[in-house]
Amino acid sequence: MKRTYKDTLHQKTTNFYVKDISKDAKSSFKSLLKSLKKRGWKIRRQREIIEGFPVLVKHFYIGEKENLKFKAERHPTGLNLEFFMGSTTFCSDEAEYDSSNLDLMPYLVRLRFLTELKYIKHVMNGMGYKDISSKTKETAYQEIMKKRDTQAHSKLNILPLSCAKDKDGKLLQDGQIKYFRDQKGRLQRGVVYHNLNNIWWIVVERYEYVTQPCSSLFDLDTEENRKRKVIQPSGFHNPKSRIIPLHKTRLDWKRQARRATKEERVQKANELLKNLYQANWLSKKLKFYLKDTRCLGLLEIENITMNTQQVCSPPRELKPYGNLPVSETERVWVRDIREYIVYGKPTIFQWFCEDKNGYGDYAHKWADIREECWKIGILRG
């Protein structure tokens, strides 16, 4: 009867699987744990299993050696070991590391894991197990080509122009060398291959690739493109994101909103809609107005479709209480602004205006939108 084991290093993960359905599986499991204890591992039963499933406690263990941990699970067909980076306190196993990616481990922890894995394989070989781990490591290009074989669009030779133009409007082709910038604005280079829609794979090293939209790719043909680093406005660096008005001041703004006339609230709401459109959080430039019957109306002034701006002439009439032809997030904005005009009460939750997403192209405008929402009395809290 075959008894085998394998690791998942070829997938850049930290799992170790043993397949054994023989009667000696239990004793082999105990021998492995005993060998690890002699090597300096502290091994105990898993606390959450003791509390929730005491009948299964003898099948689940957790081990720790300095800043490396593993969880062991014995089942009828073998054994699973899952390694991750742990905390410095032996009794706290709530700080489980994201073990699905070996590259996320710090360098010294990764070396410790590889050393312990080598020792575990030595022990398993001594007990008669056979190593069936995958020995091949695919390059970034091979991984991309394998993924493309599973995509139906890879059989097509024609791409829409909107998916095949770089930042400067030049046509993209597989195998071209293009430049892009990482999250910190640093200049990067790689070979591009089309993925899906407007997303392209970029091979930056032999075993590493990233994805970028076609609008982020360019050549070094202008002074702006040749800059080694470009610092974009960031939400993390907007001082307004750390300024919160006094509670008394916010109450005064809310009182002013309730006392204001409907026409005044319409004017303030339209200014907010204009800023949301300019910040690219609304795909349509909308405008509320009061009809002769004092009912609320809604007009579409212009919109952005497929990165193309279109002006509605004359303005298109929309139903302010109907299903608007926009995304769900945009519907929430328009609904809350509509209720603010009608009742003069705060309708937008503060969490929606907090400056948490610092990496987006327009994230630095979050704090300005939040400040405006406070001053017109539409922001809760």
Give every CB contact of residue 240 below 8 A, 6+ residues apart in sequence: 355, 367, 368, 370, 371
User: Average pLDDT for residues 160-189, to the nearest whole number?
Assistant: 89
d(CA 171, CA 139): 26
pLDDT attached to residue 21: 86
Higher-confidence position of 160 and 125: 125
What pTM was computed for the model? 0.47
Give tens-digit pLDDT for 190-243: 999 998 888 999 999 988 999 999 989 999 999 999 999 987 766 666 677 778
The per-residue pLDDT of the chain, averaged, comes to 85
Q: Render pLDDT for 329-360 as a digit per residue (tens, 0 to 9).
A: 889 989 999 999 999 999 987 665 555 555 56
Decide if 64 contacts 86 (C-beta within 8 A).
yes
pLDDT of res. 106: 85
Which whole number is the average pLDDT over 290-317?
A: 88
For residues 26 and 223, what is the distance between their CA atoms, to the nearest angstrom? 67
Q: What is the mean pLDDT of residues 128-142?
A: 84
- Concatenating the DSSP letter of every residue in 330-361 gives HHHHHHHHHHHHHH-S--B-GGGGS----SST
**What pLDDT is recorded for position 90?**
39
Q: How confident is the model at residue 98 (pLDDT cuts 50, 70, 90)?
A: low
Tokens of residue 192, six digits: 């591009």
